[in-house]
Amino acid sequence: METYNGWTNYETWKINLEFLDGKKANDIWEQKCKPEWVQDYIEEIAHYNIGNLFALSCVNSFLSAVNWHEIAEHLNED
């Protein structure tokens, strides 16, 4: 399997870099997180102020490729 900068794919790497770089689960949830929490958190941020259906469709397509389990595992590392 091909990776991107050590992550599953570009989308997973980019989401972690832009929204979560340097953070741990405790910084956001005050406990270890679940993948669906990470997904909900990022989707809420990414969808905020998108008033165009095409742009929303593009964002959703990008987010569908993210490996939320990988990001949650990274956030939960001590």
Q: Is the entire prediction scored with pTM above 0.75?
A: yes
Task: Tell me the C-alpha distance between 43 and 60, whole Å.
Answer: 8
- Mean pLDDT calculated for residue range 57-68: 96
Is residue 1 in a domain? Answer: no
Is residue 5 in a domain? Answer: no
5-48 pLDDT, tens digit per residue, is: 999 999 999 999 999 999 999 999 999 999 999 999 999 999 98
Q: How many domains does the chain have?
A: 1
Whether residue 1 is predicted with pLDDT greater than 70 in this model: the reply is: no
SS (H, E, C) the chain: CCCECCECCHHHHHHHHHHHCCCCHHHHHCCCCCHHHHHHHHHHHHHCCCCCHHHHHHHHHHHHCCCHHHHHHHHHCC
Is residue 46 in a domain? Answer: yes
Residue ranges making up the domain that contains 26: 10-76
Is residue 71 in a domain? Answer: yes
